[in-house]
Amino acid sequence: MTLAPDSPLHSEGFLTTRVDAVVNWARSNSLMPMPMGLACCAIEMMAFAAPKYDVARFGSEAMRFSPRQADLMIVAGWVSYKMAHTIRRIWDQMADPKWCIAMGACASTGGMHRCYGVVQGCDNFLPVDVYVPGCPPRPEAVIHAIMDIQEKVRNEYSVATDAHRGKGAPEPTPLRPRVLTPGGDRVISPVALYDQEAL
Amino acid sequence: MATRTLAFHFTPVDGPRAVEGTRNPHAKATTFDPDTVEALQAAFPDAVGEVFLYANEHTVYVDRSRIVDVCRFLKEDRGFEYLADMGGIDLFVEGTRYEVFYNLVSLSRSRRLRLKIRVNEDDAVVPSITGIYRAAGWNERECWDMFGIRFDGHPDLRRMYMPEDFEYHPLRKEFPLLGVPGSLPLPPQTPEAGLTLDPFAAAHGSRPVKSFEEAESDLARQ
């Protein structure tokens, strides 16, 4: 898959890579969130998109209020049983592939609303990818959730697999970032970047 | 350099108001209206029951069947043109289990008055006052939704918060805090599955699948 070291194409500015790596890199940096703002977490979600915290650095500043144009649902706030049906409907209308963040204690577990009218965690009806603790979470925590989603986008999902879905295509090995360490070239998870001792 | 004393400016706290007849620091003069209570007793000698005075607030118990007349009298003759609040109370006792309260405000005279009626559990029907105070419409719907007290003459007595096919009244004391399992369905786990009747599906091991993990649907094949 790689060019030979003495290939003349190097001098022409070419490099080779996998389709998954390029496509997932592009997609992970252009997530369009569907802001499902249900309560006070939505206020913090506005701060996360606003200039000070500036989620545009991660390519996710374009909030899309149409489910057809969004690929990341941020469930921000407590979910009532009545609203749950609407959320699931909007989730079903979002185009594949799509991801979901349960933002805050209420969306993740029901939080302090331990009562008959509030769903005790939106993972009862949504496939949640990232849970964000906090009441409400700081914008940094939501940005961290976006980064976790980006890692999922880069590593979990393959365009090639999607194209061959149902035809028994082999699962490609997940792409992991390479980090040069004194011990040599190691493949690690980006999560380990936060753990300096592991390096 | 001379030392400078920093001046802190706290919001001044109101001292207890000197209200006649009570030493309760929360008592306000605006809730004390004995003239209206006397006028009510004179106009409806058989409908007005006990009158309680606590913290300078008058609470007048009224006969359930005369609540509309009492409200009309208060609105037209005594200037109580604003219904601030109304709702239900579950005392959870035998017999007259429920109460319905009405907090009335006279904006022109700066006075407040609280009416209460007792409602029997076997016959939880109260005449609607939407003909007098249109604002009571949603409060009466809420009271019907939460306590199951019907309001006779309400133009549109639907539930306020819970779904229309819900069978219970959640603010009744016997209603369990986390609800009755299966009474409120959750959405389906996939677009074509049935409703989820378990309110704690995730805790019981169910995990909604990602959409690309779902089985191919008949609709997609068509």
DSSP for B112-153, written as a single string: EEEEEEEE-STT-EEE--TTT-TTHHHHHHHHHHHH--EEET
**Average pLDDT estimate for A40-68:** 91
Asked if B187's CB is within 8 angstroms of A166's CB, the reply is: no
pLDDT band for position B94 (cuts 50, 70, 90): confident
Flag whether A26 is in a domain: yes
Q: Determine how β-strand B57-62 pairs with β-strand B82-90.
A: unpaired
Greatest CA span in chain A, whole angstroms? Answer: 69
Q: Is the pLDDT of residue A178 over 70?
A: no
Q: Higher model confidence: residue A27 or residue A15?
A: A27
Flag whether A172 is in a domain: no
Number of domain units in chain B: 1
Ranges A105-119, A176-190, B203-217, most confident: A105-119
- Among candidates A84, A89, A166 on the partner chain, residue whose Cβ is nearest the Cβ of B216: A166
Q: Which of A169, A182, A72 is nearest to A129 (CA)?
A: A72
Flag whether B171 is in a domain: no
Q: Is the pLDDT of residue A97 over 70?
A: yes
Interface size A-B, in CB pairs within 8 Å, comes to 73
Which residues of chain A does B184 touch, with a Cβ-Cβ cutoff of 8 Å?
81, 116-117
Tell me if the pTM is above 0.95. no
Which residues of chain A does B181 touch, with a Cβ-Cβ cutoff of 8 Å?
none
User: What average pLDDT does chain A have?
Assistant: 83
Measured between alpha carbons, how far is residue B4 from residues B11, B40, B60, B140, B221 in Å?
A: 22, 62, 58, 60, 81
Give the residue numbers spanning the domain of B134: 29-166
Give the residue numbers spanning the domain of A43: 22-162
- The angle that helices A19-28 and A139-155 make with each other, rounded to 10 degrees, is 160
Q: A184 has which bridge partners?
A: A181
Amino acid code (one letter) for A81: Y
Which residues of chain A does B145 touch, with a Cβ-Cβ cutoff of 8 Å?
none
Q: Domain with A60 in it: what CATH number?
A: 3.40.50.12280
Q: Domain with B128 in it: what CATH number?
A: 3.30.460.80
Enumerate residues 6+ apart whose C-beta is below 8 A from A19. A159, A160
**Average pLDDT estimate for B193-211:** 87
**Average pLDDT estimate for B201-222:** 79
Q: Determine how β-strand B125-127 pairs with β-strand B150-152.
A: parallel
Flag whether B9 is in a domain: no
Flag whether A143 is in a domain: yes
Q: Which of B62, B174, B82, B189 is nearest to B132 (CA)?
A: B82
Flag whether A46 is in a domain: yes
3 state DSSP class of A37: strand
Asked if B199's CB is within 8 angstroms of A120's CB, the reply is: yes
Number of domain units in chain A: 1
How close, in Å, is residue A23 to chain B by CA atoms? Answer: 17
Flag whether A106 is in a domain: yes
Flag whether A173 is in a domain: no
